[in-house]
């Protein structure tokens, strides 16, 4: 939950939290784990629905160019996939139109729009993005950049569109047990 969700008193599932820390404070505490994750090759970062009032007085981090593009991508050098937190959360639906927010999130630098609840919400987001590209409100180059990052990530993990006929649960469980054993030993 970039740039840090630990110092909020409001649950973003219900309403929009506001954090008034300046960049100095964020760099000294909240951004440290993200900087380490980026340094160690984090594949994806989820951006939180938090209004970082010293960085952007109007847009929550999840659709703020100051947070996603300026801070995360430019200053911190993050090149991977950026995903929004769920756009159906109270922090969003109580404070704006989900379709307009989706377009703003892409403009701000998000690659994946998480819509966790409701076919109508999914459709509204899809249609808003499609219409924004069609009208020129969203540049195709932004979509292309996102698609490239997503495809690069899928390639890294061997994710394809080839339908799997079965899943070897025993092999997956054995791999998980080995990985967990390795974590416990460290």
Catalytic position from the list 5, 49, 56, 85: 85
Nearest-angstrom CA–CA distance, 5 and 52: 11
Angle 32-35-38 (CA atoms, 0-180°, nearest 5)?
Answer: 150
What are the distances in angstroms from CA 185 to CA 12, 91, 166, 172? 36, 40, 32, 20
Whether 70 is catalytic is no
Nearest-angstrom CA–CA distance, 29 and 23: 10
Catalytic position from the list 13, 43, 97, 168: 13
Whether 13 is catalytic is yes
Active site residue ranges: 13, 85
């Amino acid at each position: 939950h970039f740039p840090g969700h630990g110092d909020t008193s409001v649950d973003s599932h219900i309403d929009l939290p506001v954090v008034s820390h300046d960049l100095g404070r964020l760099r000294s505490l909240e951004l440290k784990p993200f900087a380490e994750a980026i340094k160690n090759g984090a594949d994806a970062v989820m951006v939180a629905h938090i209004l970082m009032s010293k960085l952007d007085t109007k847009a929550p981090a999840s659709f703020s160019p100051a947070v996603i593009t300026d801070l995360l991508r430019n200053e911190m050098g993050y090149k991977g996939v950026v995903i929004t937190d769920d756009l159906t959360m109270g922090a969003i639906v109580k404070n704006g139109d989900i379709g307009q927010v989706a377009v703003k999130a892409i403009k701000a630098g998000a690659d994946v729009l998480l819509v966790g609840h409701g076919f109508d919400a999914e459709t509204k987001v899809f249609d808003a993005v499609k219409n924004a590209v069609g009208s020129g409100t969203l540049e195709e180059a932004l979509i292309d950049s996102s698609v490239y990052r997503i495809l690069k990530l899928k390639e890294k993990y061997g994710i394809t569109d080839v339908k799997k006929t079965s899943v070897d649960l025993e092999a997956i469980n054995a791999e998980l047990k080995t990985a967990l054993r390795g974590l416990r030993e460290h």
